[in-house]
Chain A
């Protein structure tokens, strides 16, 4: 595997302490290369969410190591001082529900991240439009999220996840609300984008339709990951 991308070694997370302690994550090992899209599959309560939150730097794991590209971001503790900036600049999020900001139009929803990072409004919007064009939703740039279809919303969400060119994108059930055709379209976009922007994408899902599209799949059960080689059948 390439040394760029994200690597997780022996990650564990324990909630609480003493007798009531729960080990949500016991031993998680993952390694996703830039440009690669992997699936993360597990039943409810398997530790999937905890893993995602750890990767998203919103909770602090108990032990283990996470490396983003060349940078070790976690080893026993966070190795970066500004987790917000880390999330903003290095990690893209795509959610089950798109969670677009309802009072911002499509362009600004996407451009918000670079704006927060201090990029000028016009440049941020230009970058957003570029990305929206690539995702083929630029014609709705002036629309508000409530005026978009589910697929359009998800594509805008993807654009938002990609806008800062993060090395890693975490996608949480990105296809759940979509029919299979649109789900496949989303997967294709993710694959295209992964290649185009050299991004490592982790797709958390239990959507049977899209599981065959992954080349590699991580299963998680009781806080332990196992790796499986997938079919890698991308739709045309």
Chain B
């Protein structure tokens, strides 16, 4: 027995390929959409992975540092580093802001990390794609390639100019903004620094306050102004534990005795994925459902049209004694082939389109398999209408009635 479906496809392959391409583009969009979701989740995980921390110590009763603002004194880390079981401790600051390079603005998350010889300290980017890590304590920056900066560029963060010395990849905030790593001290300053006008005004206000500007003791005024323009706060303390220490136990100890809130890796993931991107995720899943329905409708419509086009032939086939099963199989096979062509083209399209998106689009192999399965199921289901119609065709129609 020859394959009727195969012969039909072979005969009108142009129609099939072009329909398949159209369908493929739609499926490609679906894959990209799923990739956007995966990318969001991955961005969140990348943020946590890249920080290299086991515990996040933040201000008491906050969800910081990513989901809520948190501020801690920058000398608190000393007490934590003295606790047994703690391998390494590092202060870190996060600040999402516009970073300027000449005329261009880039939205970025500026991360303050401890520079210098503390190699691979918590908060450091785990790998580079060019350049080097920060060596100086000030005015150097490691930027993500997504910012578009290159090594040697000078960028301006608040009042200070930073030289890009290294480039990272996939270092993004949970909302997908590329990161720029700068030395902690500069970051603390950047977080606090106002523009010059504001500094002047606040200075004048202080001078006008008789409590701070007593006759004969100008040193007090200076001290007050100095204390106003320093920032001894950080957003979080990243803690890396010794291998054998339990995260939960340590987190409990720190939060109990140091009166701070401590999150473990698992809790942090829950905050990021469960709270920060949950709504976006639902949004995207709605899109996925709609796209799936549209794909199904298109496959159904195409198969229906193709079947309508050969309703006479189907009548003849039935008249000359073709079994219903054979006809149904023919239609379903065609739908499946169309689905597979669409899948292949969709997969290729998605793979080539993904890097063009401004945010991270992560195409997982498992998603591809799920996609293939769904495409086949949808194809099979959407061919049902055409099959029903084909089976209802009266063979008598073939005899000029």
Contacts and interface: CB of A to CB of B under 8 A. Distances in A.
Interface of A: 49, 52-53, 56, 58-59, 84-89, 93, 95-97, 99, 101-104, 108, 112-113, 115-118, 121, 144, 160, 170, 172-173
A173 B400 contact: yes
A99 B396 CA distance: 13
Interface stretch (B8-16, B212-220, B264-272): B8-16
Nearest to B326: A116
Contacts of A85: 321
A38 B250 CA distance: 101
Contact of B11 (A86, A96, A103, A160): A103
Contacts of B7: 103-104, 108
A59 B396 contact: yes
A53 B399 contact: yes
A84 B400 CA distance: 19
A115 B1 contact: yes
Nearest to B8: A103
Contacts of B321: 84-89, 113, 116-117
B319 interface: yes
B243 interface: no
Q: Which of A49, A112, A117 has the most CB of B within 10 A?
A: A112
Contacts of B310: 102
A144 B313 contact: no
Given A84-B321, A116-B321, A116-B323, A99 B1 contact: no
A105 to B, nearest CB: 9
Contact of B2 (A52, A58, A95, A115): A115
Nearest to A98: B316
A95 to B, nearest CB: 7
Contact of B399 (A52, A89, A102, A113): A52
B319 A87 contact: yes
Nearest to A161: B320
A53 B394 CA distance: 11
Contacts of A103: 4, 7-8, 10-12
Contacts of A97: 400
Interface residues of B, number: 27
Contacts of A49: 399-401
B1 A121 contact: yes
B323 A84 contact: yes
A135 to B, nearest CB: 18
Nearest to A84: B321
Interface in B346-401: 394-396, 398-401
Contact of B320 (A113, A144, A172): A113
A118 B323 CA distance: 12
Given A59-B396, A99-B398, 14 more contacts: A53-B396, A56-B399, A58-B319, A84-B318, A93-B399, A95-B398, A99-B312, A101-B317, A102-B11, A113-B320, A116-B1, A116-B322, A116-B323, A117-B321
Contact of A95 (B4, B10, B322, B400): B400
Interface in B292-345: 310, 312-313, 316-323, 326
A153 to B, nearest CB: 13
Contacts of A88: 320-321
Contacts, number: 86
A202 to B, nearest CB: 12
A58 to B, nearest CB: 4
Ranked 3 nearest A-B pairs via Cβ: A88-B321, A103-B11, A58-B396
Contact of A58 (B1, B8, B312, B394): B394
A88 B316 CA distance: 11
A56 B399 CA distance: 9
B259 to A, nearest CB: 79
Q: Which of B8, B394, B396 has the most A CB atoms < 10 Å from its CB?
A: B396
Nearest to A105: B7
Contacts of A104: 2, 4, 7, 11
A99 B2 contact: no
A86 B319 CA distance: 10
Contacts of B1: 115-116, 118, 121
B398 A93 contact: yes
B363 to A, nearest CB: 36
A102 B395 CA distance: 17
15 contacts: A52-B399, A59-B396, A84-B318, A93-B398, A95-B399, A95-B400, A101-B316, A103-B7, A103-B10, A112-B317, A112-B320, A112-B322, A118-B1, A121-B1, A172-B400
A156 B168 CA distance: 71
B11 A144 contact: yes
A172 B2 contact: no
Interface in B114-133: none
B313 A172 contact: no
A99 B320 CA distance: 11
A86 to B, nearest CB: 8
Nearest to B323: A84
A40 to B, nearest CB: 13
A151 B2 CA distance: 26
Contact of A99 (B316, B326, B394, B401): B316
Given A88-B320, A104-B7, A108-B2, A58 B313 contact: no
A100 B313 CA distance: 7
A160 B12 contact: no
Contacts of B396: 53, 56, 58-59
Contacts of B317: 101, 112
A53 B398 CA distance: 10
A144 B8 CA distance: 12
A59 B397 CA distance: 11
B12 A58 contact: no
Nearest to B396: A58
Nearest to B313: A101
B177 to A, nearest CB: 55
